Structure 1
Amino acid sequence: MQNNEMVEGYLQLLDLLNRKLDFEFLSDVVARHVATFAFSSVGCWLGDNLPLDFESLYHRIVVKRRGGYCFEHNGLLYGILEDLGFSVTLYLARVIYNQDTHPGLTHRITMIEYEKERYALDVGFGPLGPRIPVSMSGVESQDGEKIFRIAEGRTGEYHMQVLKKGAFFSLYRFELARYGQSDCELGHFYSHRHPDAAFVNNLVAALILENETRSLRNLEYWVTQQSGTQIQKICSSEQLWRILVGELDIQVTEKESDQLFERLNAS
């Protein structure tokens, strides 16, 4: 397929075709992406081939609905926005969860410049991630009940933060260094092949809807709304399959669900 065909297919699926390419479009593309295409380590657990070229990402995420994580989702969004003519830059980040640690560069985000302002777009962080563009200016960006901001910690280190229990919590930090596709390949290889990698050791999946976040972590399925969180224990392969396909729109076969459930019980 040609790039323009894939971009058109993506936008059509999200009901964004022929829209004015303004800030409202950027906000909608982020929100609709995370509500439609699942964050997921399913492909990693099933041993799928996971190349990062644009066509492979489109077919895996949009057509086959296998989900993916940051190097996949944010790689796809980067290609879409670049093809549409937006000024985009990729950055790599370190997932820190509010700790002063120095892990590897295993997260990818997209920075976009719009009307002389810069915004971080991230459709690949999972259930805690933002479903809106977040300003690099430090101004708080509100999405319903959630508030995000980017704050500078040490000089030149920027933290993506979410407000939790009255205080800002750093999800990850990044520097405005020069990165390229080869850097993404390294981080991606670690993330889905290294025996200590989080996605190798945990089956995760999530959709972030407007008023509800659905998230799977191993043998627990969480549905979080403003009124609270419901947690469902997963006790069978059939139950896992129903959640993956029916609740998270990740297309797996019943046989593949058997494989996943068997591995979860063995770990």
Structure 2
Amino acid sequence: MTPFLDAYFARIDFAGKPDVSIDTLRSLHALHNAAIPFENLDVVLPREIELTDEAIFNKLVVARRGGYCFEQNGLFERVLREIGFNVRSLLGRVVLSNPAQMPPRTHRVLLVTLDDQQWLADVGFGGQTLTAPVRLAANIEQETPHGLYRLQPAGTDWILQFRHHEKWQSMYQLEIGPQYQADFVMGNFHSAHWPQSHFRHHLLMCRHFTDGSKLTLTNFHFTWWKAGQVIKEIVAPDARSLHGLLQEHFGQGADHPQYGFSADALEVTMSRFNLHEEGR
């Protein structure tokens, strides 16, 4: 075991003995989703998001913050590789909003090869993120703790879909070919700096718990979900209350000298957003 893995396992509360198996992959995937929130706080503060191993580790593990796909799946790839998994990152084009034109490659996801079987692992897609790996196989409905998913071939690419209101909704289209660090740097920069990026216009967070429930945040609006149904909602009355609720409900580390965030900084940032906007 390495110091990096020890720190990561403590962060997600993993107490087992990791091996290169589907059981370990499933366990780590679920615990990661529950412990490390998806969030874009650094984009709206605004701060630069660095993708070095050291920066991702210090932010998500040491400082107990969350992050979005480039950070989340970057950390998870490193974890799996140090355990001994055959894993590499892919890039996808997010089509959740049914865009009129094919969007750029702005979603990082992992391909794991295990006993000659390929699995898709993704701990960084916000409210609809996978909470278990799914086999890279065509048109097979696959159950996860938080919903039903399937993969469809699209030429040499694959499209991940989830079941929503009795219909299949496409999430992203994946390219299976080789990807390079420069590709992730470019996708990260576009996500954080493109004026029309939704990450620049809303504070977004999500945690998927191991009991099948999840907690989402859009700006000031917290929503608890289970089995696709809303079970509770809270609207933070102001940014200073929000600062405390982010620590309480998302476990956000606020005190780290580099990656923490003050109530004053959050208040300035949130003054740009609508207090009453509903989140899902």
Superposed pair shares fold, TM > 0.5: yes
The root-mean-square deviation of aligned C-alpha atoms, in Å, is 2.1
- For 1:171, the aligned partner's letter is M
Matches of 2:239 and 2:98 in 1, distance apart?
Answer: 36
Could you say which residue in structure 2 is the equivalent of 1:255? Answer: 264
CA contact (8 A) 1:43 1:67 kept: no
Pair 1:193 & 2:202 matched: no
- For 1:245, the aligned partner's letter is Q
Pair 1:4 & 2:13 matched: no
Matches of 1:82 and 1:16 in 2, distance apart?
Answer: 19
TM-score, with length taken from structure 1? 0.92
Pair 1:132 & 2:141 matched: no
TM-score, with length taken from structure 2? 0.88
Relative to structure 1, is the Cα distance of residues 232 and 75 closer, same or farther in structure 2, using a 3 angstrom cutoff?
A: same
Identical columns (%): 23
- For 2:197, the aligned partner's letter is A
Offset at 1:16? Answer: 4.1
Could you say which residue in structure 2 is the equivalent of 1:41? Answer: 40
Matches of 1:65 and 1:260 in 2, distance apart?
Answer: 21
CA contact (8 A) 1:8 1:17 kept: no
Pair 1:148 & 2:156 matched: no
CA contact (8 A) 1:162 1:168 kept: yes
For these two proteins, the number of residue pairs brought into alignment is 264
Matches of 1:155 and 1:117 in 2, distance apart?
Answer: 20
Relative to structure 1, is the Cα distance of residues 188 and 20 closer, same or farther in structure 2, using a 3 angstrom cutoff?
A: same
Relative to structure 1, is the Cα distance of residues 128 and 145 closer, same or farther in structure 2, using a 3 angstrom cutoff?
A: closer
Could you say which residue in structure 1 is the equivalent of 2:259? Answer: none
Give deviations 1:189-218, integer Å, cap 9, x for gaps.
111122221211111011011231111112
Give deviations 1:97-133, integer Å, cap 9, x for gaps.
1626400101000000011110110000011111000
Could you say which residue in structure 1 is the equivalent of 2:273? Answer: 264
Offset at 1:256? Answer: 2.8
Offset at 1:255? Answer: 2.1
Relative to structure 1, is the Cα distance of residues 227 and 127 closer, same or farther in structure 2, using a 3 angstrom cutoff?
A: closer
- For 2:70, the aligned partner's letter is F
CA contact (8 A) 2:95 2:171 kept: yes
CA contact (8 A) 2:146 2:213 kept: no
Matches of 1:131 and 1:157 in 2, distance apart?
Answer: 22
Pick which of 105-114 and 90-99 moved more. Answer: 90-99
Structure 2 unaligned segments of length 5 or more: list them: 255-261
Give deviations 1:127-149, integer Å, cap 9, x for gaps.
11110001101332212361112
Structure 1 unaligned segments of length 5 or more: list them: none
Could you say which residue in structure 2 is the equivalent of 1:225? Answer: 226
CA contact (8 A) 2:111 2:119 kept: yes
CA contact (8 A) 1:16 1:29 kept: no
- For 1:29, the aligned partner's letter is L
CA contact (8 A) 1:41 1:68 kept: yes
CA contact (8 A) 1:240 1:261 kept: no
- For 2:3, the aligned partner's letter is E
